[in-house]
Amino acid sequence: MAILPIRQYPDHVLKKNAVPVEHIDLEVEKLIEDMGETMCAAKGVGLAAPQTGTSRRIIIIGMSGQEKPEQFIELINPQIIMAEGEELAEEGCLSVADYKAKVRRALKIKVSYHDKQAIQREMEAEGIIARILQHEIDHLNGLLFFERLSRIKRDLIKRRLIKRAKHNNSAS
């Protein structure tokens, strides 16, 4: 397993729609294992393949502080098939370091996906797990959490992140 670099906004891969996984092979299985190790090392609660530079429709979710990277749930080609209720809560993102904001999300969802054995499954989730799933599925659709904010807040965060990226690139 390997810890992968986590792409930061405004990296172009974060803005693209991820490509569906057609076949679950050794490459996909290794990517999932590496994503698990990467998420745990970053103390994250979820990670989408585009955040590691791979435009594939794969996400993993877990809880921070896990010692074993295999203690996560992997979802291949996930899609939300039901959403109800509404909740406003703070979110952050491994690809948008040092920024958090309150984002409105569905309180309860149902997700259809494939597991590593290519078996079609469904999962119902509510609360924090539903929020994590929605956040990571947004990544697969080229959306970051701050794009769900008001235009003023969104533009302010984008300007700051682009300025920071330019500063970091010129310092390198």
Q: How many angstroms separate the CA atoms of 75 and 67, rounded? A: 20
pLDDT band at 172 (very low <50, low <70, confident <90, very high): low
Integer Cα distance of 146 and 74 in angstroms: 24
Domain limits at 129?
12-171
Q: Is residue 108 part of a domain?
A: yes
Pick the catalytic residue from 22, 33, 136, 147. Answer: 136
The total number of structural domains in the chain stands at 1
User: Quick check: is 37 catalytic?
Assistant: no
Burial 46-78 (b: 16+ CB within 10 A, else e): bbbbbbbebbbbbbbbbeeeeeebeebbbbbbb
State pTM to two decimals: 0.92
In the prediction, which pLDDT does 98 show?
A: 86
Residue 62: inside a domain: yes
